[in-house]
Amino acid sequence: MNVASDLEGTLTTGRTWKGVGMYLQMHGYAAQYRLFLAPHLLGTLVAQMGIINKQEYQNQWIVDLSQLLKGFDQARIDTMSEWVVDHVMWPQRRADVLAELQHLRAEGHRAILTSGAYQPIAQAFARRAGLSDAIGTPLQFSAGKATGHIEGALNNKDVKAERLRAYLGTEALDIAYGDTSADIPMLQMCRAPIAVYPDKELRAAAIKNGWRILESR
């Protein structure tokens, strides 16, 4: 049986953009991060006011933030990713959802994490959680160094579903966990969709389609 799960908001309330920002500030890149942060604060305020889509703005932040990783080699990226998981993503994990996934893994099923987070961070979280594999947003490298760009598109919405289909090949997706409307394309792929602490749009879709809703009461 194949199981897939989103990361941010589903398996953890931690956020990649916050974790990477914290890492940069604490490891010699505070000035560069402040220069990055300043022009992005207005967009944050506008998103919080609901003038622009908050999730879309956070996604663009992840794309833009990769500029600050320019010149990092793979080892440095991996070190950063482990730090972000250890200090931000794992401490804010959703223990109830993880317990379900780990139970499925213990029964021998494949559990794939799929996320808009950078691929090394998604992989680091998957290793920490004992999951089978991870599909994230790839960082672009040239001559062994990060270029400051992502490779292709952010792993989100239809892109996430397409990459998951490619990963599974001819195999079916049996169960999927997601927390926002951006996860609907992935949830529609599977036999048993699960809306985890869903946003307004996903909750409405889950109720309409009779999908299971997982959240504490």
Please check whether the domain covering 2-214 is classified as CATH 3.40.50.1000. yes
Q: Which residues of 47-65 are buried (b: 16+ CB within 10 A; e: fewer)?
A: beeeeeeebebbbbbbebb
In this prediction, residue 61 carries a pLDDT of 83
Domain boundaries, the chain: 2-214
Query: Over its length of 217 residues, how does the chain's per-residue pLDDT go in tens digits?
Result: 999 999 999 999 999 999 999 999 999 999 999 999 887 776 666 666 665 566 776 778 899 999 999 999 999 999 999 999 999 999 999 999 999 999 999 999 999 999 999 999 999 999 999 999 999 999 999 999 999 999 999 999 999 999 999 999 999 999 999 999 999 999 999 999 999 999 999 999 999 999 999 998 6
| Chain-centre distance for alpha carbon 5 | 9
State the pLDDT at residue 94: 97
Q: What is the per-residue pLDDT for 47?
A: 60
* pLDDT score of 73: 98
What confidence score (pLDDT) does residue 56 get? 73
Give the predicted TM-score (pTM) of the model. Answer: 0.93
Q: What is the 3-state secondary structure (H, E, C) of 108-175?
A: CCEEEEEEEEEHHHHHHHHHHHCCCEEEEECEEEECCEEEEEECCCCCCHHHHHHHHHHHHCCCCCCE
Q: Are strands 192-196 and 133-137 parallel, antiparallel or unpaired?
A: unpaired
Integer-rounded Cα radius of gyration of the chain? 17
Residue 57: what pLDDT?
64
